[in-house]
Structure 1
Amino acid sequence: MKLMSLVQQLVETNQKGSPLSFLQSKALFLNILEEITLLMKVKDYQNIASILTYIQENFTKNITVNEIANECNWDRRKLSYVFEKRMGVSPHVYLTDLRIQKSKMLLRSSDFSIKEIADRVGYTDYFYFSRVFKKVTGLSPSIFRKQMN
């Protein structure tokens, strides 16, 4: 995701043709090289794939970054560092975003109560889910549902 974003920025910067675009392009190119070098560390890349798989399969449970690290036999700090380097976001932000995306889908397409949706996406506390949802989307779950229907 991060690599594709950098490539897109490089293309856009090159198309500008301004006097600073050459220096900006050079900096972006060096960032792309750094990302490619990081991706070439196959072991970490494979571990990130297994971490992503674990998150995708277990986000409906009340899992934490510590539990993800323990499950994948990693130190929590190393997991967070490597994950953020590869994915561009921390594991916590990735997990939260995944849960909010799934909850949006359920709010649009189901008649489940908001409490049931919170449970289905891994939040045991309905009020905490509502706070996180509003922080991420700018709307409470009930208002989001009303606007989508």
Structure 2
Amino acid sequence: MKKFIGFISIAIFCTNSLAEIPVKNNSIPFNKLPIEIKEAVQTNYIEACQGIAEDEEMAIKNPKITFNKGFLVNVDFNGDGLKDYIIRSSNVTCEGAYSMFTGNSDGFIDIYFQNKEGKYDHVLNYWLGREGLELKKTKDSYRFTSEYNDSYLAWD
């Protein structure tokens, strides 16, 4: 029983250890992420949300950040046989600044390709505007296709 309680305590700590603010994570558990992706989540999302508590013009003193399903996706986007990470800012909210990561758009897509050494290289930061892109599997890889027209984003 002690081992089980210890394991649960470690799992909870590792999931939320990136933040000093409350985190609700419905995406891939942070303790399973490679260091490059953890750093991107910490810097670009958690610290940014935490920063609104330090901003005198904001009325939020204890913001909470929520990572929704689809915030992190781990697929072979470029078809090289290695799994890559895709981060979608539209699937994260910061309480008190709900449009912080999207503005009045669909937000950003960040893509990290895994290299042969097992590290991840940041290859794309793409502002979506109002394109309504959805990730879809093709025959050999993945692509984002627009729900509004025939446009798409793929890596050739």
Using structure 1 for the length normalisation, give the TM-score.
Answer: 0.25
Q: Which has the higher helix share?
A: 1
Structure index of larger Rg: 1
Q: What TM-score do you get using the length of structure 2 for normalisation? A: 0.24
